[in-house]
Structures are given as structure tokens and as C-alpha cells.
Chain A
Amino acid sequence: MTTPHPALAGVDQALQSLADVGYLASDEIATTVYLAEALGKPLLVEGPAGVGKTELAKAVSRAIGADLIRLQCYEGVDEARALYEWNHAAQLLRITAERDSHEHAWESLRSDIFGEEFLLPRPLLAAIRSEERVVLLIDELDKADEEMEGLLLEILSDFQVTVPELGTITARHRPFVVLTSNATRELSEALRRRCLFLHIDYPDPQLEARIVGLQAPGLDDTLTQSLVRIVGALRAGSLRKPPSVAETLDWAQTLVALGAEQLDPALVRSTLGVVLKHQDDIRTATSTLDLDRALDG
């Protein structure tokens, strides 16, 4: 086991350090973050959209005062984008410049143009070569093609990379690695085995209310409670896209901007578009909460 960073040296410390940098973790999130640090294992975070997966990695980097290096995955992301690439244009210029001077033999020219100077490190290599410890966020890995997992497997098992022209580079500090996935694709068992697994679900009402209090200050307590309750009710219904924490926050900010004092059907109806993105969902919610009818009494 490696020595954990003092900010993450126990579950309670992790809870506190994350809260200090604006991330209100559940007890389980804090536990898993601490364990990832203590065991030196990558953390694979899954969960619905907008529950704070990406934000968790950012918060860890703030908490341990390390830079965040982010590899945003997308369809077709490849080694050249993820690991490193040679700067072809600069190499070519050098070749052209040296072509006429016969002082340089091809051999030495070749070792020249495949030197550090012409290397373009991408996130994975940058994380491994970093002088300081970093947090490496591999975001939305499920969007990348499956080959990407093969590459990651190698890197995550011994934190070293071989660049044929330069040799093997080993990480000076083992990065804190966070992989996130929205589960649009099944990740390989081999990769999952390398990681600690954390499923982040929607926070419980108390925690969500605290998150609102932190990120959308200015909304009074009673209103916050009502808001969180309605969001919970919407999640329990059968919507195409249930509202996430991100949407709760957007809604809270909207209510602050409107100077709302109480949630009544008309106000909910007119701001529902902030929380629900599908027309179908707006229709469903309007009818289950009977929003076209004012409150009795």
C-alpha cells in the first residue's frame, strides 16, 4: 500500500476534504475514495448522467492539490489522441533544413527527430511523465472504442509506457485515476477487475438539499426541501430522462433568480422545462402532479 495523501488518509478526512472543496460526498463515496487512495487502485465510477461523477475527480484533485489531467473519450479516440504523437510537421521541417548539409548523417538525424523535442504527449503520457502527482480523469470511457481499454489495461497495471524510440517511461508518482462511464457499453471484465467500483446514484434528500444549499445559495430552507421532494417524486415516476443533480441545481438557481417564495403548480409548470428535457416527460409530469390545477383552499 502507498502512503495516502493526508487529505484522504481516512474516510472522515476524505469526507471533510471533499466538502472543503465544494463536493458533498455520501459516506460511501468518501469510503471508496479513501480506499482507492489507500490501495492505489483506479476508481471506476458509474451512474446516471449528472450525478457528479466528473465533478468527483475534479474535487479529488482540488482536495489533494494535484493537477487534473483529463482524457475525454469519444468515439474514435485513439492512441495518438490519448497517449502521444510525433510532431510530424516539425520533424519534416527539421529534415528539410538538414537535407543539404551533409554533416549530419541520417542516423543521427533520425535520433534527433525522434527526441523529446518532437514528442507531443497526450493525457495518458502526460500523467505518467508528470514531475508532480496528478489526478488522471478518463471521462466517459464507454464512448471510446474497445481497443482503448486494451491500452488502458497496460497503463493502469504498471503505470509505465514504452515509446519505441525513447524507451520505457515509468511514472514517478502513481496518479489518482478516476474512470467514469455512463454505461452505454459494457466495459471489459479485465478492466473492471483492475478498479474499485463505485456506483453513484441520486443522492438522498438530505444530501441533495445540502448540495443545493452549497451550489445555489439564496434559496430558503423550506423551498429547498420542497424542491428536493418534487425532484424525488419525478425520479420515482417513469420518465425518459429523470432529473439529475445538475437539473436540481439549475432549477434551484432559476427559482432564486425568479425570487420565488413558494412552489405552487403554476410556478412548477412554467419552470418545468429547466428540469425535464423531453416534451413527453413534461407532459407526464404535468398530468401526474396535476399542474394545470391550482391548489385547493
Chain B
Amino acid sequence: MPSTAESALGDRLVELTTSLRDHGVRVGTSEIADAARIATALGLDDRIRLRGGVAAAMLRRAGDREVFDRLFDLYFPAAPGRRTVPQAESVDQLREQLVQALADNDAQTLDDLAAAAVDLLGEVANGDEQQGYSSAQTISRLQPQRAIAAAQQQSRGPRGEGSGQGGEQLSDRFDRDELRARVAVFRRRVEAEALRRNTQVRSRERVARFGVGSGIEQRDFLSAGTKDLDELRRHIDPLARKLAARMSARRAAGRGAIDVRRTLRRSLSTGGVPIDPAYRERRRHRPDLIVLADLSGSVGAFSTFTMLLMQALHAQFRKVRAYGFVSSAAEITDVLRDAEPGAPLGIWARRTREFTAHGTSSSYGTAFRGFVRSEWESIGPRSTVLILGDARTNYGDPGVAHVAAIAARARHVAWLNPEPARMWDTGDSVAAAYGAVVDMHECRNLDQLRAFVARVLPI
């Protein structure tokens, strides 16, 4: 008979699972059972181990871990009595301590300081109902990034003639980045702490639903900020690798057809009995990839994703050519290769003649027409063409016939649309018209890109 403690644990795990599902992380029922066995095996004393163990049972991909940790911390909070929050009287004092902890890279103290900061600066009270804690308010009052310069000085130590230390150190050339990364970790701690405290004044479910953003897998490309960039890139790179592997895979898995001639030749050594059949080698397919991306204002933020994807593909395919367009198309393969990841591609394109021959707002018809005219020869029966765009034509001619012509000539054409499918064909979107000649896929986030790479693309 399960004790009350055990069934309480079970309930918690079920609630955690529900929250994970709300955030788009798929967790099955048998995983909950495994998690319960894990909690029994590990005990509840060491939260960090418990978190790692439950994650091992519930998660299937690394990208879900951040959301998981957030939610886990809400449902399995540190016991309140066991936290010793350092007392801080003023912002200045807090920042001073922060400088020291950043310089020492002291994770434990940073953790404690995050709690102290929320305690001192995070409380919001606009009417009794609304009481709670805000990480944004904490951060804007504390301004942790302002501790970086001081921490840098502190960690470099005294320099100069008398001090024995020479002048510049090699680490001086990157220690600012190290400190920035520590501040980023500190911010996340502050966010986690504010959430934890809010569960004391509001229901856990509400905090989980509204307070925890989506993980990188589900975050919208169109709303991805610059701070998501590195993380996005880390996830897009392996997807590009997968795409490359899938596209160059042999047509069908397994053995090829029996090669009669070689089998007979082999059978001579076994007295004419064809006991060791030879299989025909499958020829590898050498793919080439053409990416055609909308760089207009309506997909502004999407072009960041476009760029990351194209750069990642670049590293994986020997033959990949990239084109961008606003109202006319031009090749951007070399530009992409040399650009910083996350450079504002769209802004640049909208100011550049090659992409705006017919105006600075998007015109799919003229862009496709020009592309087909000048690049017809580079599209071949082995080409896969990937079109990235929201299919919003500004009420102009969509040039569907040009897309149909590309589809007829290329091996495969797929269209990735960053808008939610329910928005398609509203306003100036002509998704359905293009969808009639090429496959159009909703591709709003990594999760969908992953699905596209894994299943949709035919081999």
C-alpha cells in the first residue's frame, strides 16, 4: 500500500508532467512510472541529483532541459528552511558582493545573491491581489551587467611595475566574455528565484503556465531575440548535419538488389552453389541544395533564423547556393559565408539594390521570375530547393507559375513558412496558391524544423 508520502510524490510528478506537456514537451505515462522508481531509488534529499535522474526518465532531447529545470524547480522547490539568504541592505552593497562573486566565479554565492536580490528588489505590490515578485524589476534595479567592468579589474588583480605580475595576460583577451556568461547565469538564477517565490503567493499551475517561457525547441523564430541566437545556432547546426545525412543517404536502407553476375562468379568457389549472394552496391546520391529566402520586413526576425540555417547548411553541403530576395533575387552564398552569425541580413538586403529592383517591400512574383530567368541552369534534377518565406505578397502577383516551373525541374521543392498555419491565407498571404504546387510546411520553431528534417523530406 503506498504511503501518503509516496502518493504525494506521484501527484507531484504527474503535475510536473502536465506542465511539461503544456510547454510542448512530450512525456509518456511510462516515463512517469520510471520517474517514480527513480525518485525512490535516489531519495528526495539531494534535489540536484533527483532533477538529473527524473530528467533522464522524462526527456528525450537536450533542448528540453532548460524548460524542464525551470518547471522541476517549481514542483520540487528547495526546502524553505534550508536556504540561508544573505542579507543585503542596499543595491550598492548587493552589487559590491556581486562584483566579488563574479570575479571569483563562485557559483554558490551567485546563487545566494540571486535570492537576496529578489528579496530586496523584486517585490511588486500593486493591490493585494497582484502581490508577487518580478525578476524583470530585480534585474532593472540591480543592473548586474554594470558589475562586469569592476569584476574584470578585480579578477585581473593588481598589475604594474611593483606587483610582480607582468602586463597583459592572454586571458585578458576573453575574460569579458567569461564574465558576461556568468552574468547570464546569474540572471537565470534571479528568474528562477522569482518564480519560486511566486508559488508561495499564487498557485503553482499559474506560475508554471504564465511564468515559464517556452524552451528553445518551441520558441517562435519570429520572436527570437538576439540572446537566443547562440542557443538557436547550437541546435540548428546538428539539424543541418541531419539534413545533409538524410539527403545523401542511400535511396532505401538495407541491401540492394542481388547482383547476378557477381553472385555466379562467387559461386564458382562453392561448386556452383550460389550460397553467398552478392548485392549490388547502391549508388550514393550527391545532393545539391538551393535555398531561396525572403528577406523582406514582414519576416524580419525570421531572417536571423534563415541565416543561421543557411550558414549551418553551408558547413554540411558541398554544393549549396543561397539566394535572398525582397522584390528581386540575388545570390548571397558568399555574403553568408563571411557574415557574423546574427548579422542583420534583412536590413542589409532592404538597402541593397540587387534585392530591391522592384521596390523595398516584398514582391514574390518579380523575385521568382528573375530567379527563374537567371538561375535556371543551376537547378537540376538532383537539386533540392528550399524556399523560406511567409508567402505574403503585398497583394501583388504571386508568380505561382514560376514556382511550379522550379518544382517540375528540381528533384524536390519544400517551402518553410514561419507563420502559424492558422494565419495562412489571411490578408495578403497566398500560402494555399503556392501550396498547390509545392509542399508548404509550418516551421515556426526548432521542434517543427526537427520534424521537417526527420520525416518530411523524402529521400
Tell me the A residues contacting B by CB distance below 8 Å: 1, 11, 27-28, 31-32, 34-35, 38-39, 41, 46-47, 75-76, 78, 88-89, 91-92, 96, 145-147, 183-186, 189, 192-193, 196-199, 201, 226, 229-230, 232-233, 236, 238, 240, 263-265, 268, 288-290, 295-297
Q: Given the complex, which residues of B lie within 8 Å of A196, measured CB to CB?
A: 34, 56-57
Instruction: Say yes or no: B315 contacts A240, CB within 8 Å.
Output: yes
Q: In chain B, residues 159-185, which have Cβ atoms closer than 8 Å to a Cβ of chain A?
A: 159, 166-171, 173-174, 177-178, 181
Bound-state Cα–Cα, A186 to B273, Å: 41
How distant is the Cα of A186 from the Cα of B249 in the complex, in angstroms?
Answer: 14
B residues near A197, Cβ cutoff 8 Å: 55-57, 59-61
Q: Mark B183-211, 1 if CB is under 8 A from A, else 0.
A: 00000000000000000000000000000
Pair B60/A189 contact, Cβ less than 8 Å: yes
Provide the bound-state CA to CA distance between A226 and B238, in Å: 29
With A145-B254, A186-B242, A193-B28 already in contact, the answer to whether A268 and B170 are too (CB < 8 A) is yes
- Chain B residue nearest to A29 (CB atoms) is B52
B48, B53, B178, B315: the one contacting A32 at CB < 8 Å is B53
Q: Across the interface, which residues of B come within 8 angstroms of A41, CB to CB?
A: 34
The answer on a CB contact under 8 Å between B53 and A238 is no
Stretch of B15-23, B36-44, B92-100, B427-435 with 4 or more beta carbons under 8 angstroms from chain A:
B36-44
9 A-B pairs whose Cβ atoms sit less than 8 Å apart in the complex: A35-B53, A47-B62, A147-B254, A184-B242, A185-B246, A185-B454, A186-B453, A197-B60, A232-B178
Q: How far is the CA of A96 from the CA of B275 in the complex (A)?
A: 13
Q: Which of B57, B170, B271, B453 contacts A295 (CB 8 A)?
A: B170
B454 touching A32 by the CB < 8 A rule? Answer: no
Interface of B: prevailing SS: helix
CB < 8 Å: which of A1, A31, A75, A184 contacts B241? Answer: A184
Nearest-neighbour CB distance to chain A for B293, whole angstroms, equals: 20
Chain A neighbourhood of B42, CB < 8 A? 11, 31, 35
B167 with A27: CB separation less than 8 A: no
Q: A232-B178, A265-B170 are in contact. Are A92 and B270 (CB under 8 A)?
A: yes
Closest to A268 in B: B170
> Shortest beta-carbon distance, B254 to chain A, in Å?
6
In this assembly, does B233 line the interface, its C-beta being within 8 Å of a C-beta of chain A?
Answer: yes
Q: Scoring B residues 138 to 171 as 1 if CB is less than 8 Å from chain A, else 0, what string do you get?
A: 0000000000000000000001000000111111
Q: Are A88 and B275 in touch, CB under 8 angstroms? A: yes
Query: Which of B42, B60, B250, B254 lies at the interface centre, i.e. has the most chain A CB atoms within 10 A of its CB?
Result: B60
Whether A92 pairs with B273 at a CB distance below 8 angstroms is: yes
Chain A CB within 8 A of B276 CB: yes
Q: Which residue of the partner chain A has the closest CB to B315?
A: A240
A-facing mask of B240-271, CB < 8 A → 1, else 0? 01100110011001110000000000000011
Report Cα–Cα, A229/B169, bound state, in Å. Answer: 12
Q: Is the CB of A193 within 8 A of B170?
A: no
Residue of A nearest to B233 (CB): A238
How many angstroms between the C-alpha atoms of A288 and B173 in the bound complex? 8
CB distance from B201 to the nearest CB of A (A): 32
Among the listed B168, B238, B275, which residue makes an inter-chain contact with A184, where contact means beta carbons less than 8 Å apart?
B238
Q: How many angstroms between the C-alpha atoms of A183 and B235 in the bound complex?
A: 11
Q: Does B353 contact A (CB under 8 A)?
A: no
Given the interface pairs A11-B42, A226-B171, A236-B181, the reply to whether A78 lies near B31 with Cβ below 8 Å is no
* Chain A, Cβ-Cβ closest to B62: A199
Q: Mark B424-452, 1 if CB is under 8 A from A, else 0.
A: 00000000000000000000000000100
Query: Contact at A32–B238, with CB atoms within 8 Å?
Result: no
Residues on B with beta carbons closer than 8 Å to the beta carbon of A265:
170
CB of B321 closer than 8 Å to a CB of A? no
Is the Cβ of B168 less than 8 Å from the Cβ of A297?
Answer: yes
Cα A289 to Cα B176 in complex, Å, equals: 12
B265 CB, min distance to chain A CBs, angstroms: 16
Provide the residues of chain B in CB contact with A226, threshold 8 Å.
170-171
Chain B residues with CB below 8 A from A76, complex form: 250, 254-255
User: Is A147 in contact with B170, judged by CB distance below 8 angstroms?
Assistant: no
**Given the contacts A145-B254, A196-B56, A197-B59, A27 and B273 also touching, CB distance less than 8 Å:** no
